[in-house]
């Protein structure tokens, strides 16, 4: 250990934003824009966890973000959680030693955030966790491990809601907790009108004026288990054939890989009225979501967006770290048993979508920047 290499004099106010996955890029985009508007130095590190154009480059284009200053190489080849996290950690540490920011911001629960948080903590830099305090209580989830670990080593915990603030307090975290709202509201507000004006996804799928559902599934506990993945295919089949609702399913690369490995690709491709498509850009996705009748998903971000936009959501999991969506009447936690999901879907389709948005007023990025730069406080 060469302790002389530990950063002792960070550059005041210099802020580093770490991104790495599709939802990380989307949720950090309002913060990157807010920091760019301020008279301070800031830069972005892309950890390389997501790398396919649809999940990465396309997001930068849609959100009108500059190329990140740094991109960590060699992460794509990794296979295991520890190996992937370690590859990102080493790369991030080297950049932080070079740049000496005062503050490092990570967002959410994916592995790249744990890597960024550990790198910052070990270099004794100030660490802010955006989307802090979420808890599913499901210890099978790699994301739950990451949330807990990051919250406990952060100096600032940017809790999106009062409930998440309470979770962090109950966990006896050491850092300062600030309730900011979720930056996903900022992102939806900034991009929804652009999406309505620019996206032609409904025309491309011949869905203009039609009823349809949006479906997504990529969670490890669901798609890495052959039996659960088969149940998801059964759900797609029943919703389209028995309930008569066409479905749009932008397929995540993890799920595509598992469908191939488990020999299930033919069964899913055989379902009529299912638009099984590549992941779409953020603007196309917002346009799909806002015009949908209902969402079926295991995604965290999509549970939030459906709630914000006013589209009923059926969550294909046994629990959620976003209970606020259920409390306001926007979401139902259905699990993955086909009959249970169909029953919940029938109820959810009757909801009108006039619930309150529990995720804030769209100024989360402003509050986060004010806090780390010690302005307006
Ligand atoms: C990760 C996050 C998850 C988040 C999701 C967002 C963790 C533990 N999981 O899951 O919380 O909800 O991102 O989408 O951090 N792949 C590609 N191209 C890519 C990225 C991945 O083909 O750009 C394929 C690879 O085969 C890879 C697999 O997907 O091995 C899984 O990718 P990984 O980043 O490890 O996890 P996600 O399932 O994307
Ligand atoms: N999304 C997108 N294109 C798609 C599917 C999703 O832009 O084809 C966006 C969606 O709007 C949301 C985010 O990706 O903001 C959710 O990411 P994902 O479901 O991969 O991860 P999670 O939120 O579960 O971590």
72/128 same-domain check: yes
117/70 same-domain check: yes
- Tell me the average pLDDT across 271-292: 98
Number of domains in the chain: 2
Q: Which of 49, 58, 71, 256 to mutate to test the pocket of ligand 1 (most atoms within 8 A of CB)?
A: 49
223/367 same-domain check: no
* Cα–Cα distance measured from residue 243 to residue 262, given in angstroms and rounded to the nearest whole number: 27
Residue 377 pLDDT exceeds 70: no
Residue 314 pLDDT exceeds 80: yes
163/284 same-domain check: no
128/263 same-domain check: no
pLDDT category of residue 6 using cuts at 50, 70 and 90: low
pLDDT category of residue 193 using cuts at 50, 70 and 90: very high
Domain, as residue range, for 137: 11-182+360-372
Reduce the DSSP state of residue 328 to 3 states and report it.
coil
For residue 301, the ligand 2 atom closest to its alpha carbon is 23
216/337 same-domain check: yes
Ordered DSSP codes for 342-377: HHHHHHHTT--S----TT-SS-HHHHHHHHHTT---
* Cα–Cα distance measured from residue 44 to residue 15, given in angstroms and rounded to the nearest whole number: 9
- pLDDT of the residue at 4: 60
178/215 same-domain check: no
For residue 112, the ligand 1 atom closest to its alpha carbon is 15
87/38 same-domain check: yes
Residue 3 pLDDT exceeds 80: no
Note the pLDDT tens digit of each residue in 38-84: 999 999 999 999 999 999 999 999 999 999 999 999 999 999 999 99
267/343 same-domain check: yes
Residue 313 C-alpha from the chain's centroid = 16
The yes-or-no answer on residue 218 being catalytic is yes
* Cα–Cα distance measured from residue 163 to residue 321, given in angstroms and rounded to the nearest whole number: 10
211/132 same-domain check: no
CATH at residue 216: 3.40.50.2000
Find out whether the beta carbon of 254 lies less than 6 Å from any atom of ligand 1: yes
Residue 135 maps to a domain: yes
Residue 190 maps to a domain: no
Strands 247-250 vs 213-216: parallel, antiparallel or unpaired: parallel
Portion of the chain with pLDDT greater than 70, in percent: 97
In whole numbers, what is the pLDDT of the chain averaged over residues? 97
Residue 102 maps to a domain: yes
Q: Which residues have CB under 8 Å from 146's CB, separation 6+?
A: 109, 110, 111, 113, 114
Residue 153 maps to a domain: yes
Nearest CA to ligand 1 atom 3: 110
Cβ(30)–Cβ(365) under 8 Å?
yes
- Which of 332, 284, 324, 292 lies closest to 311, judged by CA? 292
Residue 193 maps to a domain: no
Find out whether the beta carbon of 298 lies less than 6 Å from any atom of ligand 1: no
Residue 255 maps to a domain: yes
- pLDDT of the residue at 161: 98
pLDDT category of residue 289 using cuts at 50, 70 and 90: very high
Q: Rounded to two decimals, what is the model's pTM? A: 0.98
Note the pLDDT tens digit of each residue in 90-139: 999 999 999 999 999 999 999 999 999 999 999 999 999 999 999 999 99
Cβ(138)–Cβ(323) under 8 Å?
no
227/255 same-domain check: yes
Residue 40 CB neighbour total at 10 angstroms: 18
- Tell me the average pLDDT across 325-342: 98
- Tell me the average pLDDT across 150-173: 98
174/248 same-domain check: no
Q: Characterize 96-106 residue by residue with b for buried, 16 or more Cβ atoms within 10 angstroms of its Cβ, and e for exposed.
A: beebebbbbbb
Catalytic residue among 50, 218, 252, 275: 218
Helix crossing, 111-122 with 142-153: angle to 10°? Answer: 20
- pLDDT of the residue at 5: 63
Classify burial at 1, counting beta carbons within 10 Å of its beta carbon; exposed 0-12, middle 13-18, buried 19 or more: exposed
Residue 89 maps to a domain: yes
pLDDT category of residue 375 using cuts at 50, 70 and 90: confident
Note the pLDDT tens digit of each residue in 12-38: 999 999 999 999 999 999 999 999 999
């Amino acid at each position: 250990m060469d302790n002389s290499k530990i950063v002792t004099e960070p550059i005041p106010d210099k802020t580093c934003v770490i991104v790495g996955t599709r939802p990380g890029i989307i949720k950090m985009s309002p913060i990157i824009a807010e920091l760019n508007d301020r008279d301070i130095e800031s830069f972005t590190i892309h950890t390389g966890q997501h790398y396919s154009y649809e999940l990465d480059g396309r997001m930068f284009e849609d959100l009108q973000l500059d190329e990140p200053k740094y991109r960590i190489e060699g992460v794509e080849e990794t296979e295991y959680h520890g190996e992937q996290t370690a590859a990102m950690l080493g790369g991030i540490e080297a950049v932080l030693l070079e740049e000496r920011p005062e503050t490092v911001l990570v967002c959410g629960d994916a592995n790249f955030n744990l890597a960024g948080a550990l790198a910052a903590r070990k270099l004794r830099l100030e660490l802010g966790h955006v989307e802090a305090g979420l808890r599913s209580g499901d210890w099978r989830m790699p994301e739950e491990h990451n949330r807990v670990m990051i919250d406990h080593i952060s100096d600032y915990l940017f809790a999106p809601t009062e409930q998440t603030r309470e979770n962090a307090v109950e966990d006896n975290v050491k850092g300062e907790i600030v309730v900011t709202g979720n930056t996903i509201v900022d992102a939806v507000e900034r991009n929804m009108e652009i999406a309505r004006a620019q996206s032609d996804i409904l025309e491309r799928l011949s869905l203009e004026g039609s009823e349809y559902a949006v479906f997504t599934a990529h969670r490890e506990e669901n798609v890495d288990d052959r039996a659960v993945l088969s149940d998801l295919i059964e759900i797609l089949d029943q919703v389209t054939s028995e309930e008569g609702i066409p479905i749009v399913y932008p397929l995540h690369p993890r799920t595509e890989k598992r469908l191939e490995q488990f020999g299930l690709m033919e069964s899913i491709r055989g379902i009529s009225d299912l638009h099984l498509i590549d992941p779409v850009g953020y603007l196309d996705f917002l346009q799909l979501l806002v015009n949908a009748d209902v969402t079926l998903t295991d995604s965290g971000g999509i549970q939030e967006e459906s709630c914000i936009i006013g589209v009923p959501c059926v969550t294909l999991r046994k629990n959620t770290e976003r209970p606020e969506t259920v409390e306001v009447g926007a979401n139902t936690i259905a699990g993955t048993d086909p009959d249970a999901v169909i029953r919940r879907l029938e109820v959810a389709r009757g909801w009108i979508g006039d619930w309150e948005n529990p995720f804030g007023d769209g100024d989360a990025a402003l509050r986060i920047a004010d806090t780390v730069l010690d302005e307006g406080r």
